[in-house]
Amino acid sequence: VQLQASGGGLVEAGGSLKLSCVASDNLFKLDAMAWYRQVPGGHRDLVAQITTGGATTYDDDVQGRFTISRDNAKSTVYLQMNKLKPEDTAVYYCNAVKLDLSTIDRFDYWGQGTLVTVSS
């Protein structure tokens, strides 16, 4: 699975950005799609996830400000980010997960990352 992320940029605090991630595979073949973010020297942390069934989860820091969604026809997952804060500054990575229930294996696929910078 290849993932192409886009939409990052520079925005002022309080502003909005929308990230897009286009998958090379049909989204129904993927068990979940997610966005992670990473700051220099930090861990890659989960921001939001959406399952094949449409269930969503969010990190507490973005709950109520960010919305993850998917367009199956376009094989695209979005991350709408509102009320951005300087601490949201990071490289955002698109992630896809496939589960092999017969072997209990998890396969993670990653996009190239897109930089989001929020100025104060």
Ranges of beta strands (E only) in the chain are 3-6, 9-12, 17-23, 32-38, 44-51, 56-58, 66-71, 76-81, 90-100, 105-110, 114-119
**Phi-psi map region of 98: left, alpha, beta (phi>0 left; psi -120 to 50 alpha):** beta
Would you put residue 104 in left (φ > 0), alpha (ψ -120 to 50) or beta? left
Residue 69 has pLDDT above 90, yes or no: yes
* Residue 14, phi-psi category: left (phi > 0), alpha (psi -120 to 50), beta (remainder): left
Closest-CA residue to 89 (of 13, 35, 4): 13
Tokens representing 46 are: 């989960």
pLDDT tens for 71-113 read: 999 999 999 999 999 999 999 999 999 998 888 899 999 999 9
Indicate whether 42 pLDDT > 90: yes
Assess whether pLDDT exceeds 90 at residue 28: no
Give the span between the Cα atoms of 79 and 61, in whole angstroms.
Answer: 14
